[in-house]
Homo-oligomer: A and B are copies of this chain.
Amino acid sequence: MDKVKQSFEEIVKQIPDGASIAVGGFGLSGIPEKLILALVKQGTKDLTIYSNNCGVDDWGLGLLLKEKQIKKIVASYVGENKTFEQQFLNGEIEVELTPQGTLAERLRAGGSGIPAFYTAAGAGTPIAEGKEVRNFDGTDYLLEQGIIADFAFVKGYQADRYGNIVYRHTAQNFNPLCAMAGKVTIAEVEEIVELGTLAPDAIHTPAVFVQHVLKGTDYEKRIEKRTVRSKGGEA
């Protein structure tokens, strides 16, 4: 069982126009840089994207936006992206805003065979519109649907050839959930290690959720807000 593939260009060939893709990452942290770039290069159109954010103007999912490859995005926050603003105002892109916790849970649910669940997030707000409201023990909850995507793009730190993945620090974020939600999950990682190297007690995404693994090189890992303190001092 060897899920390791060599070419990003080759791997995205299976993704047709109109596909839906769950894309890991939070802001620009833990995003599948190489898979996004390969998809930009391939020019695949009419994509439905499930992702917490939509990158920035010149990086991450923002690159797909710029090329007008995205038809619809389901996200919790798209405020960092001016390209998005223009396309939204022009009606070129459809957006479904969903609370961050609801998005995370919808991805997990879809990947877990749970078609729908109830959450209080958004009850009594504009996003409740059109959703079933149900009261449990005196509180209103919204019915939210699980997400199953045709593909998932995830970015790991290390993987083995079975497709076991570990993430690094907060670059974990939505990645394990996207891996669950994808019918075909493609993982890019910084390092592919020998089978048996990853501690079985510390694997974040077990192999069963992953179909393809690729090693990326020269990761940019851009930082959106560089906040620091001076040595020994305060922020």
Bound form: Cα–Cα A119–B166 in Å: 29
Note all chain B residues with C-beta closer than 8 A to A228. Answer: none
A: number of interface residues (CB 8 Å) = 25
Known: A114-B118, A115-B141. A202 touches B199 (CB 8 A): yes
- Which residues A35-61 have CB closer than 8 A to chain B? none
Partner of A112, one of B105, B116, B139, B169: B105
* Min C-beta distance of A117 to chain B, whole Å: 4
Note all chain B residues with C-beta closer than 8 A to A136. Answer: 115-116
Are A117 and B116 in touch, CB under 8 angstroms? yes
Binary interface encoding of chain A residues 114-155 relative to chain B, with 1 for a CB under 8 A from any of its CBs, else 0: 111111100000000000000011010100000000000000
Are A166 and B115 in touch, CB under 8 angstroms? no
7 closest pairs, A vs B, by CB? A202-B202, A117-B117, A115-B136, A116-B118, A114-B117, A115-B118, A115-B141
**Interface positions of A (Cβ within 8 A of B):** 105, 109, 112-120, 136-137, 139, 141, 166-169, 172, 199-202, 204
Closest to A203 in B: B202
Note all chain B residues with C-beta closer than 8 A to A199. Answer: 202
Bound form: Cα–Cα A137–B146 in Å: 12
Bound form: Cα–Cα A191–B119 in Å: 37
Are A166 and B201 in touch, CB under 8 angstroms? yes
Bound form: Cα–Cα A224–B40 in Å: 55
Closest to A136 in B: B115
Closest to A157 in B: B201
Note all chain B residues with C-beta closer than 8 A to A166. Answer: 201
Note all chain B residues with C-beta closer than 8 A to A137. Answer: 115
* Min C-beta distance of A24 to chain B, whole Å: 16
